[in-house]
Amino acid sequence: MADSTVWWLLAGTAVAVELVTGTFYLLMLAIGLCAGALVAHTGAGPVPQLLAAAVVGGSSVVGWYFVKKRQPAAPSIRADRNVNLDVGETVHIERWNPDGTATVRYRGATWTAIHREGEIPVAGPHRVAELVGSRLLVDPI
């Protein structure tokens, strides 16, 4: 079997495993394996093939790591409007309890509202920021 065939089989295996596991880094390594296959097609020996695969695959992984690191973190699922339709809705709080909670009527039911850590609770209109279990984390408007 030719060296290039082995490289292509390894690249295909890496892509298949990436599709099953969902790790994008395996796809970057598969790019390195493709580079090894292309160098094998030129007739180079095993050392240049390994070097090409290592340099291209390694630099792809490092490059993708820095691209992902530069992107802002995804919002919490509890605060994502696409997951919780209550996020962004308005509630009116009459008074806060001494324990930092308030009872509000929202969507025809009684809910417990809480405020953010370090904020002074005030009565009035509030916007739902997150759902924490069955409680509404609210911010004053």
Same domain, 25 and 61: yes
Angle at 11 between CA 10 and CA 15, to 5 degrees: 115
Distance between alpha carbon 6 and the CA centroid of its chain, in Å? Answer: 34
Q: Which of 70, 93, 124 is the last residue of a domain?
A: 70
Domain enclosing residue 24, as ranges: 3-70
Regarding whether 81 and 59 lie in a shared domain, the answer is no
Q: What is residue 66's predicted lDDT score, i.e. its pLDDT?
A: 93
Q: Are residues 135 and 102 in the same domain?
A: yes
Is there a single domain that holds both residue 55 and residue 87?
no
| 9 and 62 both lie in a single domain | yes
Cα separation, 126 vs 137, in Å, equals 9
**pTM value surpassing 0.75:** no
Last residue of a domain, one of 28, 52, 70: 70
15 and 62 together in one domain: yes
Q: pLDDT value at position 81?
A: 77
**Whether residue 26 sits in one domain with residue 51:** yes
The pLDDT assigned to 33 comes to 97
Q: How high is the pLDDT of residue 11?
A: 97
Query: Which residues of the chain are modeled with pLDDT < 50?
Result: none
Strands (E), the chain: 90-93, 101-106, 109-115, 124-132, 135-140
Domain count, the chain: 2
CATH number of the domain at 83, please. Answer: 2.40.50.140
Q: Say if residue 43 is in the same domain as residue 100.
A: no
